[in-house]
């Protein structure tokens, strides 16, 4: 059967595309969290939704990109940090984008201005576009990298908004009203997922002009209110983001665009240099779309900046290609609006992150939305080639083209699956980055961290030392040194750790983890005065780091300065946004130690009100009740601790003591015996059991 006959069965072909996409992403279901996943997803306490309530949901949605964070919070609510659920949702969104792209292309080619030329091939082009786009290896960074759900969602609602606009403009009655209603919902959802949606008003107008009205003035009249509404929502969002969520307000916005670009401390580029570099980035992106071999894909490119039109020499050709194709798109807008639209879609959805904003130069996930236009154009080119005459030449060309397409699809699938293998673990991903970006300090730092977290300390230290040899900037010099210092602390080589960490804080005095780890090293060798100085410096640099307050408090406790310890815990409770229950537990234990029992009761209760699922705190509160001869309350707390953690031996031993104190010796013997079954060497359970048995025998006589 000829390829066009297959492609004329869109329902089954689209289902096959979706099934094929799931297959090539089937090796990602257990892929680990990577890079920004930790800060934005796994360790983001604002997304740790234990119960659905207004208070908890407020914490989720009062973040930048609230729509995406809401989905992360629901993931956490259902299965905590199990990556399987996160990957399932990402893949489902990718499939939804595939369907939406098919619909967008099909609707576009069936518009009155396009149907005469493309209507008979609309299904073929739509299927080919969605197929090539869905299985393309360059999409792996957007789909498999969990945090890039922000890109997936924004792209989905971006397409939904455009589809809704097309239906609203080409339909009547209820469908027309429904289309506009969907737009009112979907555009804010796109913008609330990621700011790439700011280009949507431009493309709504462009779509209206190119394909619906055909006349610039008419397009302005038809699309004006939609574009203005989208623009207003965009302005409100950006204003809120930079005034409320970013320190510095409009100065932050201006700096985000115009200040010197610094690629996380490694590359410094002026706005002019970044503009020159952006043209080369565009060429690089095009090369990846044309030949996406896994050997060419990279999470963290070491992409050199352009300093003039001839430095490096590829800058001028890149600028000529960029300006030439952009100019061509403008020039053929009237005669070939589809070609023009696809080119402008590609460049227009890249320009924000590649030319304007203060971001890393190259990331493959940025191609997720722009590549739709590129592959739409490519699919039209393929369809065009299949329709050429004479018949014999056409059939030969179709057969050859069919073989090329089938081979290309096969290679794209294999390469996507292969690239996803690289994403399976932190170690495999960062080993790949180090291989491809051997002069990038961030690669060595993250690979060292991956080895360190896997317990491979010797391997981690080797990687850190390799990173030091490339003479990183102070930003990564300090981070790598801190990694080495941490390893020496774990090995109990405290003198070496102190020496290394002193170098780290000298390289970057503003890196709080340098001071924090230096404080840990000093504390381990009982140099408490120096440890306090280091922890206080770390606290001043990062007021949200919980363990600064805990270490300072514990050191003061060790020194007998109990009031200063109390002060440290209270300071942390006052300024910390999250996890204050930990500090309240420490404070309550200290109050108990210095016999401020009422204060201890209050802090334990407050701690449990903030986080009731803490068996250790229930046990501590139970001990306090026990000391006050409040046996029933103590029994309740110990039972709750055991309900939450049946293997909590201290709580079970304490429950046995309560039973003994209340005269229920049989139950006391039962609890002490269960403790010894789980830990025969338990330090007090054996003695408690002997005493209970002795009392039980005495009662029998």
Contact in structure between 303 and 281 (CB atoms under 8 Å): yes
Query: Does residue 235 lie in a domain region?
Result: no
CATH number at residue 692: 1.25.40.10
Least confident piece of the model among 386-390, 438-442, 504-508, 645-649:
386-390
Mean pLDDT of 459-485: 92
Distances (CA, A) of 254 to 242, 356, 531, 664: 10, 11, 40, 72
Residue 636 domain-assigned?
yes
| pLDDT confidence bin for 272, thresholds 50/70/90 | confident
Per-residue pLDDT of 396-419, as tens digits, reads 777 787 888 899 999 999 999 999
**For the segment 509-568, what is each residue's pLDDT rounded down to a tens digit?**
999 999 999 999 999 999 999 999 999 999 999 999 999 999 999 999 999 999 999 999
User: In 455-596, which ranges are continuous DSSP H helix?
Assistant: 457-469, 474-490, 494-507, 512-524, 528-541, 546-558, 562-575, 580-593
User: With bands split at pLDDT 50, 70 and 90, how would you rate the model's confidence at 214?
Assistant: low
Q: In 3D, which of 196, 203, 212, 133 has the Cα closest to residue 345?
A: 203
Categorize the per-residue pLDDT at 267 as very low, low, confident or very high, splitting at 50, 70 and 90: low
Mean of pLDDT over the chain:
89
The span from the CA of 327 to the CA of 383, in Å, is 25
pLDDT at 268: 73
* Six token digits for residue 190: 């796109």
CA 359 to chain CA mean position, Å = 16
Is residue 701 over pLDDT 60? no
Band the pLDDT of 5: cuts 50, 70, 90: low
- The total number of residues shown for the chain amounts to 701
Question: Does any domain span residue 302?
Answer: no
Q: What is the DSSP letter of 680?
A: T
CB 625 within 8 A of CB 633: yes
With respect to residue 633, please indicate whether it lies within any of the assigned structural domains.
Answer: yes
Confidence bin at 668 (pLDDT 50/70/90): confident
What torsion, rounded to 10 degrees, do the Cα atoms 365, 369, 374, 376 define?
140
Six-digit token string for 289: 């779309």
> Is there a domain that residue 651 lies in?
yes
- Give me the residues paired with residue 262 across strands: 268
- Model confidence pLDDT, tens digit, residues 671-680: 989 999 999 9
Determine how many CB atoms are found less than 10 A away from the CB of residue 331.
11
Q: What is the pLDDT of residues 605-632, one digit of tens each?
A: 999 988 888 999 999 999 999 988 999 9
CB-based contact 624:604 (threshold 8 Å):
yes
Answer yes or no: is 660 within a domain: yes
CA distance 540 to 535: 9
Check: CB of residue 678 under 8 Å from CB of residue 647: yes
| Dihedrals phi, psi of 429, to nearest 5 degrees | -70, -45
Residues 145-192: tens digit of each pLDDT: 999 999 999 999 999 999 999 999 898 889 989 999 999 899 999 999
Tokens of 2: 């000829």
Q: Among 189-203, 448-462, 650-664, which range has the highest average pLDDT?
A: 448-462
Chain position carrying tokens 């309550």: 588
Digit-coded pLDDT (tens) for 80-132:
999 999 999 999 999 999 999 999 999 999 999 898 888 888 888 999 999 99
In this structure, is residue 657 part of a structural domain? Answer: yes
Residue 300 per-residue DSSP state:
S
Q: Would you state the pLDDT for residue 265?
A: 41
DSSP string, 55-118: HHHHHHHSSSSHHHHHHHHHHHHHHTT-HHHHHHHHHHHHHHHHHHHHHHHHHHHTSHHHHHHH
Q: What is the pLDDT of residue 579?
A: 85
Can the peptide bond before residue 102 be classed as cis, meaning omega within 30 degrees of 0? no
pLDDT at residue 546, as a whole number: 93
Kindly indicate the confidence band of residue 263, based on its pLDDT and cuts at 50, 70 and 90. Answer: very low
Lowest mean pLDDT among 157-171, 380-394, 684-698: 380-394
Mean pLDDT of 294-308: 94
pLDDT at 256 > cutoff 70: no
Query: CA 391 to CA 400: how far, in whole Å?
Result: 14
536, two tokens = 């206080």
Residue 503: exposure state from Cβ atoms within 10 A (0-12, 13-18, ≥19): middle
Mean pLDDT, residues 575-585: 89
Instruction: State the total domains in the chain.
Output: 1
Ramachandran angles phi, psi of 264, nearest 5°: 50, 50
Rounded (to 5) percent helix, strand, coil in the chain: 80, 0, 20
In contact, 336 and 256? CB cutoff 8 Å: no
Residue 308 phi/psi, 5-degree rounding, is -160, 180
Q: Please give the pLDDT value at position 259.
A: 46
Query: Whole domain around residue 663: which residue ranges?
Result: 615-701
Structure tokens given for 638: 């110990």
**High-pLDDT (> 70) share of the chain, %:** 89
Q: Is the pLDDT of residue 390 over 60?
A: no
The token duo for 100 is 């939406």
Task: Please tell me the distance from the alpha carbon of residue 569 to that of residue 390, in angstroms, as a whole number.
Answer: 85
Residue 158 has which token pair? 């971006």
Would you say residue 642 lies in a domain? yes
pLDDT band at 690 (very low <50, low <70, confident <90, very high): confident
DSSP for 241-288 reads IIIIISTTHHHHHHHHHHSPEESTTS-EE-HHHHHHHHHHHHHHHHHH
């Amino acid at each position: 059967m000829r390829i066009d006959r297959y492609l004329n069965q869109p329902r089954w072909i689209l289902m096959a595309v979706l099934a094929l996409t799931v297959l090539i992403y089937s090796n990602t279901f257990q892929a680990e969290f990577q890079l920004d996943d930790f800060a934005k997803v796994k360790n983001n306490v604002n997304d740790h939704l234990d119960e659905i309530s207004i208070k908890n949901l407020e914490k989720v949605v009062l973040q930048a990109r609230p729509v995406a964070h809401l989905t992360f919070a629901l993931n956490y609510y259902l299965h905590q940090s199990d990556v399987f659920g996160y990957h399932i949702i990402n893949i489902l969104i990718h499939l939804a984008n595939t369907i939406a792209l098919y619909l967008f292309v099909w609707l576009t080619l069936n518009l009155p201005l396009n149907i005469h030329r493309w209507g008979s091939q609309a299904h073929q082009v739509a299927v080919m576009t969605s197929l090539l786009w869905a299985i393309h290896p360059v999409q792996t960074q957007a789909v498999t990298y969990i945090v890039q759900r922000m890109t997936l969602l924004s792209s989905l609602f971006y397409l939904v908004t455009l589809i809704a606009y097309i239906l609203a403009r080409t339909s009547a009655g209820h469908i027309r009203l429904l289309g506009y209603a969907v737009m009112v919902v979907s555009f804010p959802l796109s913008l609330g997922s990621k700011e790439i949606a700011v280009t949507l008003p431009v493309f709504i107008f462009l779509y209206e002009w190119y394909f619906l009205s055909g006349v610039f003035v008419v397009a302005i009249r038809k699309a004006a209110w939609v574009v203005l509404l989208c623009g207003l929502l965009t302005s409100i969002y950006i204003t809120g983001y930079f005034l409320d969520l970013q320190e510095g307000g409009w100065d932050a916005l201006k700096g985000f665009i115009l200040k010197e670009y610094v690629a996380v401390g490694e590359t410094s580029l002026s706005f002019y240099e970044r503009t020159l570099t952006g043209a080369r980035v565009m060429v690089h992106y095009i090369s990846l779309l044309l030949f996406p071999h896994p050997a060419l894909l990279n999470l963290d490119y070491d992409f050199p900046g352009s300093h003039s039109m001839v430095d490096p020499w590829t800058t001028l050709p890149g600028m000529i290609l960029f300006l030439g194709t952009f100019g061509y798109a403008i020039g053929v807008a009237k005669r070939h609006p589809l070609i023009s639209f696809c080119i402008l879609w590609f460049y227009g959805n890249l320009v924000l992150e590649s030319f304007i904003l203060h971001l890393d130069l190259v990331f493959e996930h940025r191609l997720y939305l722009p590549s739709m236009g590129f592959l739409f154009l490519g699919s039209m080119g393929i369809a065009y080639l299949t329709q050429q005459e004479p018949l014999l030449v056409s059939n030969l060309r179709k057969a050859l083209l069919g073989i090329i397409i089938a081979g290309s699809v096969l290679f794209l699938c294999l390469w996507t699956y292969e690239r996803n293998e690289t994403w399976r673990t932190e170690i495999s991903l960062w080993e790949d980055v180090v291989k491809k970006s051997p002069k990038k300090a961030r690669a060595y730092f993250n690979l060292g961290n991956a080895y360190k977290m896997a317990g491979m300390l010797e391997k981690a230290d080797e990687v850190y030392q390799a990173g030091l040899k490339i003479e990183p900037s102070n930003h990564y010099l300090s981070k790598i040194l801190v990694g080495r210092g941490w390893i020496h602390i774990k090995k109990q080589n405290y003198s070496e750790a102190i020496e290394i960490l002193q170098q780290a804080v000298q390289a970057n005095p503003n890196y709080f983890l340098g001071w924090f780890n230096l404080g840990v090293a000093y504390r381990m060798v009982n140099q408490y005065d120096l440890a306090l100085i280091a922890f206080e410096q770390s606290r001043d640099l990062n007021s949200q780091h919980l363990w600064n307050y805990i270490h300072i408090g514990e050191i003061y406790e060790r020194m007998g300065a109990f009031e200063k310890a109390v002060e440290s815990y209270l300071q942390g409770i006052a300024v910390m946004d999250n996890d204050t229950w930990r500090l309240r537990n420490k404070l309550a234990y200290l109050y108990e130690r210095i016999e401020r029992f009422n204060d201890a009761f209050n802090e334990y209760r407050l701690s449990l009100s903030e986080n009731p699922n803490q068996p250790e705190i229930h046990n501590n509160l139970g001990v306090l009740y026990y000391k006050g001869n409040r046996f029933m309350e103590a029994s309740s707390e110990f039972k709750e601790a055991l309900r939450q953690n049946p293997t909590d031996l201290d709580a079970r031993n304490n429950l046995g003591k309560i039973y003994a104190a209340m005269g229920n010796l049989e139950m006391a013997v039962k609890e002490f015996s269960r403790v010894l079954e789980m830990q025969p060497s338990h330090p007090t359970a054996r003695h408690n059991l002997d005493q209970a048995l002795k009392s039980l025998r005495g009662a029998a006589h």
